[in-house]
Amino acid sequence: MKVLVTGGAGYIGTHCLVELMQAGIEPVVLDNLSNADPSALARVEQITGQAPIFIEGDIRDHRVLELTFQAHRPQAVLHLAGLKAVGESVEKPLEYYDNNIAGTLQLLHTMREYQCRQIVFSSSATVYGDPQTLPIPESAPIGGTTNPYGTSKYMIERILSDWAHADPQAQVIALRYFNPVGAHPSGLIGEDPKGLPNNLMPFIQKVAVGELEQLSVFGDDYDTIDGTGVRDYLHVVDLAKGHLAAIQRMLRESDTGFEAINLGTGNGISVLQMVNAFERASDQTVAYQIAPRRPGDIAACYADASCALDKLNWRAELDLTQMCQDAWRWQQFIAGK
């Protein structure tokens, strides 16, 4: 059974490929390599012993989509392709809306043409904006987004929900990721952001390995355990297993319609707690200074993860130490490349 994985050569995509292949599902990767290196697919092959089918192409290109569906007839789609840098999305909103929204529309048109009606979409906890309740349940209001990236996720959820409403056979699951971190325990795949990392974990990794001097901790005066920002970090392997669980549920059950499901651990971790955990796991010092708050940041964000357990029988299993150990193993691998 084949599943199309758009964006499958990227950070989360490669981890999903491993889980799918190990469960006997054949992934077909469609990726334009705008933020990925094909060598990551070779390393997926090293882990799984099989090469994933790979098509280099853009989801906005109708011809490429047609050829992909014609040749492979995927039963379902994991839709991860998208641009994801928050700051860049503020500078280039049209590029973000074009890539993320126009790309999704092309994909849905082609799916309809080929009667493929099952899709799992990479959404984000960013759709909740500044949450009113913690932990955040799926029923919390969405749409209070503060940047084009977040707004594109919100708009795609609306499009998918309307599509599912109009087609009684459509099955859509929007997975709202909290903060994916870490890497595959093999140390062969992970995230390797170009330039200065925007996100906490890759920044800490580069300080620990000596590529960056020190971390700026954005704010120590939030109403949190130690004043620094609190987030729900989850291991990328757990996240990938959540995708497998979503696909398997779709294949097993005929529940139709649109569902949004949080993927998080349910635990809030502060910036300083993360720094300490990383220092312990890597046996390195992570130098840091307290800096002003980052504009647009919120104090705390963590999931009510009960719906994923209920509906997907999924819960995060890997703890903070494993996230840090695996991130560190991967960081050493890329530093030595």
Give me the residues that bind ligand NAD (CB under 6 A), please.
6-7, 9-13, 31-36, 58-60, 80-84, 99, 103, 122, 124, 177, 180
Note whether 248 binds ligand UD1 by CB under 6 A.
Answer: no
Applying CB under 6 A, among 126, 205, 273, 325 the residue interacting with ligand UD1 is: 126
Applying CB under 6 A, among 148, 150, 182, 242 the residue interacting with ligand UD1 is: 150
Applying CB under 6 A, among 179, 273, 282, 325 the residue interacting with ligand UD1 is: 179
Alpha helices in 10-49 (DSSP H): 11-22, 39-48
My answer on whether omega of the bond before 135 falls inside 30° of 0, hence cis, is yes
> At its nearest, how many Å lie between ligand UD1 and the CB of residue 228?
6
| Distant-in-sequence, close-in-space partners of 144: CB < 8 Å, separation ≥ 6 | 128, 129, 130
Of the two residues 169 and 308, which places its CB atom closer to ligand NAD in the complex?
Answer: 308
Rounded to whole angstroms, the Cα distance separating 245 from 61 reads: 29
The CA-atom distances, in angstroms, between 291 and each of 214, 216, 253, 267 are: 11, 6, 50, 25
The answer to whether 32 touches 55, Cβ cutoff 8 Å, is no
End-to-end CA distance of the chain: 35
Residue 187 token pair: 């140390």
At residue 294, the 3 state secondary structure works out as: coil
Choose from ligand UD1, ligand NAD, none: what does 33 bind? Cβ within 5-8 Å by kind. Answer: ligand NAD
Note whether 236 binds ligand UD1 by CB under 6 A.
Answer: no
Applying CB under 6 A, among 104, 122, 124, 331 the residue interacting with ligand UD1 is: 124
Note whether 216 binds ligand UD1 by CB under 6 A.
Answer: yes
At residue 234, the 3 state secondary structure works out as: strand
From the candidates 149, 154, 222, 233, give the one annotated as an active-site residue.
149
Choose from ligand NAD, ligand UD1, none: what does 60 bind? Cβ within 5-8 Å by kind. Answer: ligand NAD
Choose from ligand NAD, ligand UD1, none: what does 86 bind? Cβ within 5-8 Å by kind. Answer: ligand UD1
Please identify which residue in the block is written with the tokens 């060598």. Answer: 39
Of the two residues 31 and 232, which places its CB atom closer to ligand UD1 in the complex?
Answer: 232
- Does the annotation mark 222 as catalytic? no
Q: For residues 265-294, which are near ligand UD1 according to CB under 6 A?
A: 271, 294
Residues in the chain: 337
The answer to whether 202 touches 211, Cβ cutoff 8 Å, is no
Looking at the annotation, which residues are catalytic? 149
* Residues forming the site for ligand UD1 (CB under 6 A): 86, 124, 126, 150, 179, 198-200, 203, 215-218, 229, 231, 271, 294, 296-297
